[in-house]
Structure 1
Amino acid sequence: MGQPSSLPTESGLPTFTFHVNPVLSSRLQVELEEKLVVLQSDPSDELEAQTSKLGEMGILLSSLPLSQKEQCLVVLEEVRLGLVSSGDLDLRLGFDLCDGELEFLDKRKQVVAKALQQVIGLSEAPHCDQVPVVAVLGSGGGTRAMTSLYGSLAGLQELGLLDAVTYLSGVSGSTWCISTLYKDPFWSQVTLQGPIEHTLAQVCSSKMGALSTEQLQYYSQELRLRESSGHSVSLVDFWALLIEYFLNREENPAKLSDQQEAVSQGQNPYPIYAGINVHTNISGEDFAEWCEFTPYEVGFPKYGAYVPTELFGSEFFMGRLMQLRPEPRICYLQGMWGSAFAASLDEIFLKTAGSGLNFLEWHRGSVNVTDDCSKFQLQDPTRLRTRLCTPQGPFSQALLDIFTSRFTSAQNFNFTQGLCLHKDYVASREFMAWKDTHPDAFPNELTPMRDCLSLVDGGFAINSPFPLIIQPQRAVDLIVSFDYSLEAPFEVLQMTEKYCLDRGIPFPRIEVGPEDLEDPRECYLFTKAEDPRSPIVLHFPLVNRTFRTHLAPGVERQTAEEKAFGDFDINGPDTPYGMMNFTYEPKEFDRLVALSRYNVLNNVVTVKHAFQLALDRGQARGRVGS
């Protein structure tokens, strides 16, 4: 990637700077019309011998001295080219975990090892190299998901397994629960009863005050302040301030970077919040780029591009910080993470009727492959095929705009703007360029070519943050999936399985029978024993099965009051747990928390078995490593 530069030179020639990732075998291809001279402060004989034989080939950039103190300048005709390491950029390019997360993992392993020793009954704690990586995932579902996740985490805590969890990640409503918990730097070290009671007070109180004159004045003042600081303001930001009121009843000054304190000693699981970047007229299921938000970094695993969390919202170009802007308060992220209303009419129809508006396909443009480039692809596997694009006419475009454009999305400065991070950057599994009509097949359609990010609720793609957790660098052994959907209890697993098949990512087969779809159990275990790279998946649908008749595992309900408390339908026509219901009666809140907690406790044998399988895998890996 290149840009004009004002590098100081003795000759005064114009310069052009290329930012180069040092871990790649990048080459500078040149066609010589004059003698090529390499200038450096202390040229080596080996480099001189190499350059004298270049001819029409190229320079392997990794062979050139690239550091902050020493630059290699290549003079070609009347242009001076400067090579600058990507380490000099203001963002991080690469697919490894950031330093903050790596330091956390070292500390968290000790906590996890002690927890597994106590729960599984080991004579001694496993060695840190043998400690498995466990991730807990919460699906979307608005207030229902937020409330249920409190109960699920309480169940894990009661079993002593919350300290055995490395990652805690969520989509939509689950992020509201997680981000609220992390206001306390030691939340997982104390009982969750306090946070649950606090949330009950917020959920069960009237929301009418959100539209009071005083609050409306506050919203107006905050939005003007946000706009004056350089941020783009949309309906999502107003929604964010409503969420702030629903969750806190007062202004919340917290920022995501503040949560670094909550993981600095490995005392809590590492939080990963999920959003997706979308194109305004393409459904999230057809095109979604997963964006992760952590206390240390915000970035796209697809592109391997990350900015420090404090700099999210600032303006970048070609990896350089152009304009520093204040880090947004976390309520603005909560609004974006849970912006379920940012749907197009086509997506709404898909969610409610089970299929999209098929007639729209007649009005879309067409893409045809005009050659398969088979001869050229043998020589250069990264070469894209030639495609003929036929755009839609003005009437079709207007019709598509009406039915496929989203009402709103969170607009943020694009920190990847100007970077050349297409599929040749590395062999990333995230790119879908092999699909002829997918935007990934067209480099000029990729996010680095756009001015702004359009970030929305991750539930528009997969209603659980699996894509962020299954990255190979995180090496997760066990995924505990809590699905708070009212219908389709295995949809997130099936969509994740397809996502992984498309990208060659190991993932277990999701095989369920008709009886499971009709009347799902409380807990399912999916494994692919023959492939240790495939995560073990422990899946909890939101069902009221034995909780209806049991007060606690093995304890049947006796009194009429006890039976009435458990006898309710989660997804019945009169359910109080609909997506757009933000206020519950205290009994409705208590029973949802109790149900989620019970479903974990009632499956303690399966849960411990899953953790034992993960430990066995970690111990096997440790033996191989030694």
Structure 2
Amino acid sequence: MKLKEKKRKAKKEARRRNRKKAISQSQSLCAGEKEYVHQRKRVVLESLSSLGINCTTDSVPHIALLASGGGQRASVGLLGSLYQMEKEHLVDMLLYLGSVSGSTWSMSSIYSDPQWSDSPDSLDTAVSRLSGPEVPLEKALAWLDERAEEDYFSLSDVWGVLTSAGIMKQMDLRRLSDEASRKATNPYPIYSAIEKYCYLHGPIQGKWFEVTPHEAGFTELGLFVKTSLLGSKFENGKLLVKEPEMDMVKLQGILGSALALDQTIKDLIPPWLNVSGQMDGAAEDYLRVYNALDKLVALTRSTIKDPTALSDLDKLQKILEDMLNHDKSVWLESKSLEERKSSFGQWSLELMAAVQTWSQSLEDGAFKTNVSLLTKQVLPMIRKWEWGTTGNFLYKYQDSTVPPYLRSTETFHLIDAGLLINVAYPSFLGEKRDIDLIIAPEYSAGNMFETLTLARDYAAEVKKPFPDIDSKILEERDWPKGCYVLEGKEKAPTIVHAHARTHARRLLLPVYRYAAEFKAKMEDFSTFQRPYSQEKIEFELETAKANIKINKETLLREIKKAVLRRHNKM
């Protein structure tokens, strides 16, 4: 009996050790990040000294650049901001670089070069790639075909491969955990997502999710796994099946998947349908199908050059637009609410059928083969509307702090963090990373202060310090200044909130003299649209560069204050 009891205890202890290894629970830096930051501080110290800023090893400030989301606008904007910061010798002062949504696309592209912040030509290469040769559709579809065989295939895979190939012009097949062994040449990268169910239903502790080269997990819960294990199958803290780590293409699809949420689709409602009481489940499904097909055509177009194939895509675009206009006419002529609502389900099926018919009508050849593969993989997923499906490492995890939903499901759904807060503030608040200064270039559309107020409210709910926001500042939301400094007190970080669109105004106002004209022009740079033209890319780059250049002295002043602040903490 004693021998059996010993064996039972030994097995229990082995399970406990295994669980402890697989899942870590801590609000402190993991060993890998801690060592990287330690090494990175040497780079920051040297950079500060080169600019005549007195600093000791112990007083190296914790500075983070947090780029907002905003689709291609944010993706191009981050490149422009970093390009100018490199010219002003400011990049090496950054300890961290964080991003959400569209800015994650360019951030992942930049980090494909292990030495990007130490190589003058690296950012030039990243910028030139945006207008460079497209990734062939065949290559993108080969990647997609492989993902379709996996257990957790979703629309995020489709979105990831088409934004990678069509917008960033790069298929980055490396794994994020590959960066764990790199030297601390670059700022430490942190990507952010949110868990969909917890975002919609709570609690707040289950919402924010961060991914670094070393670990991935829930920021507020403090529960993490090694990044190489994200997506693997777990039960009660035990690793059951180790799945291959997702590559950066798939991760990019998850991080920038704003379309995953129904509310985003509702924001794209055409005016004729935007009538109170008309939207039900069938209407929302119709909008999802139409907008997904519209984006699919646009992104596919950006991966091909063949004139005949482009002409065929024009025909499909015309078919979809004609069907939308026809549906509008029928909807407006419908006499009853029930008659209108019953039409949407049929129209969704007709849209899908139209794509199938168009696909079958193409001339035999490579393009038809590729389109057939694409429609085979994508059309069923559009109807299912499943995004960011990921193996849940907290499934049946025995800890009362874990929300019931996360304990009860084998998978969770990671989507665009910008849907919650369009800047990655949650990962950089509190004692874990102990940030002194946040530089936040803002590329968002709409209310320029929304990310700040949302972050302030989030911080209050999770009881983390955040700087005060003067109510007078918020009154300037429609026509803001180029830069605002929110002074951090005690444990709250100082935030330099810089508005790239203010400098867009300065560039455009010589032509567009009135606010209404300017706002109308800026609609050309809306978040959801086809890949940017060369003209739009150059405009966004110059806007972001101007934002940094004009605010250089403010940044240097706040960096010096951050050094003093860190010194006083020691």
Would you say same fold, with TM above 0.5? Answer: yes
1:372-391 aligned at under 5 Å gives the runs none
Q: Which of 586, 592, 602 in structure 1 is aligned with 2:534?
A: 586
Q: CA deviation at 1:180?
A: 0.6
Which residue identity is paired with 1:595?
A: T
Larger relative contact order, structure 1 or 2 (CA cutoff 8 Å, min sep 6): 2
For 1:619 and 1:283, locate their aligned partners in 2 and report how far apart those are by CA, in whole Å.
Answer: 42
How is 1:355-394 mapped onto 2 (pairs within 5 angstroms)?
none
Q: Hey, what does 2:499 align to over in structure 1?
A: 541
Which of 393, 396, 409 is equivalent to 1:418? 396
Q: Does 1:339 align with 2:266?
A: no
Supply the AA of the counterpart residue of 1:336.
I
**Alignment of 1:614 onto 2:532:** no
Amino acid of the structure 2 residue aligned with 1:413: G
Q: Which residue of 2 aligns with 1:53?
A: none
Q: In structure 1, what is the Cα distance between the partners aligned to 2:468 and 2:190? A: 25
SS at match of 1:325: coil
Stretches of structure 2 that go unaligned for 5 or more consecutive residues are: 282-344, 346-382
Distance in structure 1 (CA, Å) of the matches to 2:452 and 2:166: 31
Alignment deviations for residues 559-588 of structure 1 (CA, whole Å, 9 cap, x no partner): xxxx66999977425633121224223232
Paired residue type of 1:301: T
Structure 1 unaligned regions, length at least 5? 1-7, 20-70, 72-81, 364-401, 426-442, 551-556, 558-562
Q: Which residue in 2 is equivalent to 1:99?
A: 31
Aligned to 2:196: 278
Partner of 1:517: 477
Q: Which residue of 2 aligns with 1:5?
A: none
For the 8 Å contact 2:167–2:531, the answer to whether it is kept is no
Give me the whole-angstrom Cα distance separating, in 2, the residues matched to 1:101 and 1:255.
17
- Structure 1: how far apart are the matches of 2:232 and 2:442? 34
Aligned match for 1:314, one of 213, 220, 232: 232
- 1:412-457 Cα deviation digits (max 9, x unpaired): 110111213333x8xxxxxxxxxxxxxxxxx533x12221111100
For 1:280 and 1:106, locate their aligned partners in 2 and report how far apart those are by CA, in whole Å: 34
> After superposition, where does 1:452-467 map in structure 2 within 5 Å?
452-467=411-426
The aligned counterpart of 1:269 is: 187
- Note the 1:59-138 alignment, pairs <5 A: 84-85=16-17, 88-119=20-51, 121-122=52-53, 124=54, 126-138=55-67
Tell me how far 1:517 sits from its aligned partner. 1.4
Match of 2:172 in 1: 252
CA drift of 1:292 comes to 0.8
Give the Cα–Cα distance (whole angstroms) in 2 for the partners of residues 9 and 338 of structure 1. Answer: 57
CA-CA distance at 1:102 after TM superposition: 0.6
Q: Secondary structure at the match of 1:508?
A: coil
Report the CA distance between 1:542 and its aligned residue: 2.4
TM-score under structure 2 normalisation?
Answer: 0.73
Cα distance change, pair 572–285 in 1 and its aligned pair in 2 (3 A): farther
Distance in 2 (CA, whole Å) between partners of 1:300 and 1:173 is: 21
Amino acid at match of 2:130: Q
1:241, distance to aligned residue in structure 2 (A):
1.3
Distance change in 2, residues 1:350/1:13 (3 Å): farther
SS at match of 1:422: coil
303-312 vs 249-258, greater mean Cα deviation: 249-258
Q: Distance in 2 between matches of 1:178 and 1:283?
A: 30
In structure 2, what is the Cα distance between the partners aligned to 1:85 and 1:582? 50
Contact 1:274 1:337 in 2 (8 A): yes
Partner of 1:163: 92
Structural mapping, 1:209-248, within 5 Å? 214=138, 219=141, 221-228=142-149, 230-247=150-167
Structure 1 CA distance for aligned equivalents of residues 452 and 83 of structure 2: 24
TM-score, with length taken from structure 1? 0.67
Structure (1/2) with the larger strand percentage? 1
CA gap 1:406/1:471 in 2 versus in 1, 3 angstroms? farther
In the TM superposition, 1:413-492 aligns within 5 A as 413-423=391-401, 443-445=403-405, 447-492=406-451
Distance 2:432 2:522 in 1: 45
Question: Is the alpha carbon distance of 1:574 and 1:150 closer, same or farther for their aligned partners in structure 2, counting shifts above 3 Å?
Answer: closer
Q: Is the 8 A contact 1:231 1:313 kept in 2?
A: no
Give the structure 2 partner of residue 504 of structure 1. 463
Secondary structure of 2:49's aligned partner: helix
Structure with bigger helix share is 2
1:408–1:281 Cα change, 3 Å: farther
Q: What is the RMSD computed on CA atoms of the aligned residues?
A: 3.8
Distance 1:161 1:107, change over 3 A: same
Q: Take 2:229 and 2:482, find their aligned partners in 1: how far apart are those partners?
A: 42
The question of whether the paired residues in 1 share the 8 Å contact of 2:19 and 2:238 is answered with no
Match of 1:294 in 2: 212
Q: Distance in 1 between matches of 2:513 and 2:184?
A: 37
Per-residue deviation at 1:536? 0.3
For the residue of structure 2 that corresponds to 1:612, the secondary structure is helix
Match of 2:123 among 195, 200, 205: 195
